Amino acid sequence: MNQSHMPELPYALEASNLSVILGGQKVLEIPSLHVLPNQVLIVIGPNGSGKTTLLLSLALLLRPASGTISFDGQSISNGSEILRLRRRFAVVFQESLLLNTTVWDNVTLGLRMRGFKNDETKVRTQKWLERFGIASLARRQAKRLSGGEAKRVSLARAFALQPEVLFLDEPFAALDSPTRQALIQDLGHVLRETGVTTVMVTHDRNEALALADRVAVLINGRLRQIGLPEEVFSSPADEEVAGFVGVENILPGAVVAQKDGIASVSIEGRQIEAVSRLLPGAKVTVCLRPEDVTLTVPEPKAAASTARNRLSGRLVTTSHLDSQVRVTLDCGFPLVALITQRSCAELGLAPGREVVASFKASSVHLIARSSVFQTTGAV
Amino acid sequence: MDVFIQGIVQAFQLLIHGDPEVLRIGALSLAVSLSATAISLLIGVSLGTALGLTRFVGRRFLVSLINTGMGTPPVVVGLVVTILLWRNGPLGVLHLLFTPQAMIIAQVIISLPIITGFTMASIQQVDPKLRLQMLALGASRLQLLWLLIKETRLPLLAAVMAGFGAIISEVGASMMVGGNIKGQTRVFTTAIVQETGKGEFGLAMALSIILMVLVFFVNLALTTIQQKSRLR
């Protein structure tokens, strides 16, 4: 991975040759992972990919079968060190996991166990209750809170500890959508304000886009890609990553020409152009996000567009999502586009209709299958 | 029917006049059973917590043993303790037979499995993730145990009530190891047995009513603590 744009800083947290075996099965194998200080690293991956296992290992709550974890430049080995280091971290889980007592007592709990003085405990607890907008709930019983309120308590409890590394395990997974959106926003502000080094795992790509400084993709217990969010989302390292990050058009093709950094790629006999330095002859996987495809109906005098690629095709199906419509086309190969409800209505789209699909050459990402020259490295 | 009314009247008379014998019996009953409960609580909560949190070879056997212990007839416990404390028995040198201490030992043996079993069950039903969260908050081993016990305080109070209820009401063991000696080891249950045997139904009835009222108030106190900590 190209990290040349990153400043030379010591890693906050580092895992090397980490492997975890659960029930006789190797569920995690990470040759190397670095968490950079004051950054939010979000590990995404499908359910069962080992995200929580990775998080627990890094948070020193699960002993790996082998490998080392270093914090602050020191590798962690013996037991008494683990307790001391855990007390410099904080973890928020998917469930709020509050004790059966008041909100106040829940938020002070970690501080009390870590031996903070009463005054300090009070000041911090009050501050973080206010910061998460739950100061009025301080005297309430934790078990009587709504899901969103309980989650705020567990976040306040973690931030009150002022951890050097904050771990978040699917913190929003159990919340309904409006609550989740509000909380993601609040958390984003707090993360930026505090600059706390953070590792979060989630299966939700939108959370990663909203909060991450860097994104890592974990599939089947292995890190497949790590990089800036836009890098990972637009230039996935392999087909599985592409599939997981929402690239719906994953097509086999071959480079047939190359000129000034623009490669002509043949897919099922049709040609498209992509920004790539791959040379003719390279077998590639073509990746194109459906939201990067725009649709028009064929007209004699087509509107000027900067899109290099214009493919005519026939509409096969439409399916309505939240506010968008997912359109499947036959352009000689299947192509999926995501357009707004409104443009779907304006274009009068219906199965069988002739349409023109356009997309920019820069929206197309090529993964070399028989590599001639690679534009983007894997992890 | 007369017996019941007579019993109730006599119970009030005994209480109002502060009959010294009844007061002595009541004080000893409470002292013996409450100490036995306290000792069982101390041992049982530790043992139950350990059993609830660990896995080892033979654990299942031990758990079955404890579950069986919950139903052991008090007379069997009384017999075993009597044999142990008999003058030339293994613990005869302690000269404990027919003392309140012997009764406490027997009652601990009866209530210990109940409190251990309840504790184990309630510790086991705590979400394992909550344990992980406590560790993540920086709990040491001891802090974790304390938090778990505090978190399971509602079922634990139920365990205390069940344990106390079992021993304040048992008669077999107290009779055998205590001997129902007037002024020394006579408790409610043994006195009731004796008065019934003598045909003194009124007095037996009165003692029964006082015992029930006493048990009611102890349980009321425990229930109040339990429900208060739930609703506060």
Model confidence over A157-209: pLDDT tens digits?
999 999 999 999 999 988 998 999 999 999 999 999 999 999 999 999 889 99
User: What pLDDT shows up at residue B224?
Assistant: 87
Higher pLDDT, A356 or B227: A356
Tokens 């006789």: give the residue.
A24
If one counts every other C-beta atom within 10 angstroms of the C-beta of residue B14, the result is 19
User: What pLDDT shows up at residue A78?
Assistant: 66
pLDDT-derived band of residue A374, with 50, 70 and 90 as boundaries? very low
User: What pLDDT shows up at residue A7?
Assistant: 47
Give the nearest chain B residue to A62 (CA atoms): B132
Q: Chain B, 82-141: which have a CB under 8 Å from a chain A CB?
A: 127, 129-130, 132-133, 135-140
Long-range contacts of the stretch B12-16 (C-beta < 8 A, 24+)? B13/B206, B14/B206, B14/B210, B15/B210
Q: Which residues of A touch B132 (CB under 8 A)?
A: 56, 61, 91, 93
Buried b (16+ CB within 10 A) or exposed e, A67-106: bebbbeeeeeeeeeebeebbbbbbbbbbbbbbbbbbbbbb
User: What pLDDT shows up at residue A372?
Assistant: 45
Task: For chain A, state the CA radius of gyration.
Answer: 24
Q: Do B178 and B100 touch, CB atoms closer than 8 A?
A: yes
Distance, in angstroms, between B146 CA and closest chain A CA? 11
User: What pLDDT shows up at residue B229?
Assistant: 65
- Check whether A224 has a pLDDT greater than 70: yes
Mutation target to probe the B interface, by most B beta carbons within 10 A, among A84, A104, A113 is: A113
Gap between the Cα atoms of A185 and A198, Å rounded: 16
- Check whether B31 has a pLDDT greater than 50: yes
Gap between the Cα atoms of B98 and B184, Å rounded: 9
Residue A174, SS3 per DSSP: coil
Phi, psi of B200 (to 5 degrees): -85, 70
Establish if B199 touches chain A: CB-CB under 8 angstroms: no
- Check whether A60 has a pLDDT greater than 90: yes
User: What integer is the mean pLDDT of A330-359?
Assistant: 91
The tens digit of pLDDT for each residue in A265-310 reads 999 989 999 999 999 999 999 999 999 999 988 876 655 566 789 9
H/E element, A197: strand A197-202
Give the total number of structural domains in chain B: 1
User: What pLDDT shows up at residue A6?
Assistant: 47
Give the nearest chain B residue to A58 (CA atoms): B136
- Check whether A81 has a pLDDT greater than 90: no
Mutation target to probe the A interface, by most A beta carbons within 10 A, among B137, B146, B226 is: B137
> What is the side-by-side strand order in the sheet with A365-368?
A270-275, A262-267, A249-259, A283-288, A365-368
| Partner residue facing A113 (CB), from B127, B138, B230 | B138
Distance, in angstroms, between B19 CA and closest chain A CA? 45
Distance, in angstroms, between A90 CA and closest chain B CA? 6
User: What integer is the mean pLDDT of B165-183?
Assistant: 94
C-beta atoms of B133 and A86 within 8 A: no
Biggest distance spanned by C-alpha atoms of chain B? 66
Percent of chain A exceeding pLDDT 90 equals 75
CA atoms within 13 A on the CB side of B118: 24
Distance, in angstroms, between A218 CA and closest chain B CA? 23
| Partner residue facing B137 (CB), from A100, A110, A141 | A110
User: What pLDDT shows up at residue A378?
Assistant: 43
User: What pLDDT shows up at residue A273?
Assistant: 94
User: What pLDDT shows up at residue B153?
Assistant: 87
Chain center to CA of A278: 28
Q: Which residues of A sit within 8 Å Cβ distance of B?
A: 56, 59, 61, 83, 86-87, 89-91, 93, 95, 97, 99-100, 102, 109-110, 113-114, 141, 157, 161, 167
For A303, which DSSP code? P
User: What integer is the mean pLDDT of A71-75?
Assistant: 83
pLDDT-derived band of residue A321, with 50, 70 and 90 as boundaries? confident
- Check whether B231 has a pLDDT greater than 70: no
C-beta atoms of A97 and B140 within 8 A: no
Domain of B167, in residue numbers: 2-231
User: What integer is the mean pLDDT of B49-68?
Assistant: 92
Higher pLDDT, B16 or B135: B135
Gap between the Cα atoms of B37 and A312, Å rounded: 85
Give the nearest chain B residue to A100 (CA atoms): B151
Gap between the Cα atoms of B166 and B73, Å rounded: 11
pLDDT-derived band of residue A375, with 50, 70 and 90 as boundaries? very low
- Check whether A8 has a pLDDT greater than 70: no
Over chain B, what is the mean pLDDT? 91
Output the domain CATH number for residue B163. 1.10.3720.10
- Check whether B136 has a pLDDT greater than 90: yes
Pairing of strands A40-44, A214-219: parallel
Percent of chain B exceeding pLDDT 90 equals 70
Question: Sign of the CA dihedral A148, A62, A48, A203?
Answer: positive
Higher pLDDT, B114 or B230: B114
User: What pLDDT shows up at residue A305?
Assistant: 63
C-beta atoms of B130 and A97 within 8 A: yes
Tokens 């409006």: give the residue.
A178
- Check whether B12 has a pLDDT greater than 90: no
Those residues with Cβ within 8 angstroms of residue B144's Cβ, 6 or more apart along the chain or in another chain = B131, B134, B135
DSSP per-residue codes, A93-132 = -SS----SSBHHHHHHHHHHHTT--HHHHHHHHHHHHHHT
Buried b (16+ CB within 10 A) or exposed e, B156-188: bbebbbebbbbbbebbbbbbbbbbbeeeebbbb
Gap between the Cα atoms of A251 and A330, Å rounded: 13
- Check whether A377 has a pLDDT greater than 60: no
Those residues with Cβ within 8 angstroms of residue A102's Cβ, 6 or more apart along the chain or in another chain = A138, A139, A140, A141, A142, B232
In chain A, what is the straight-line distance between the N-terminal and C-terminal CA atoms, in Å? 5
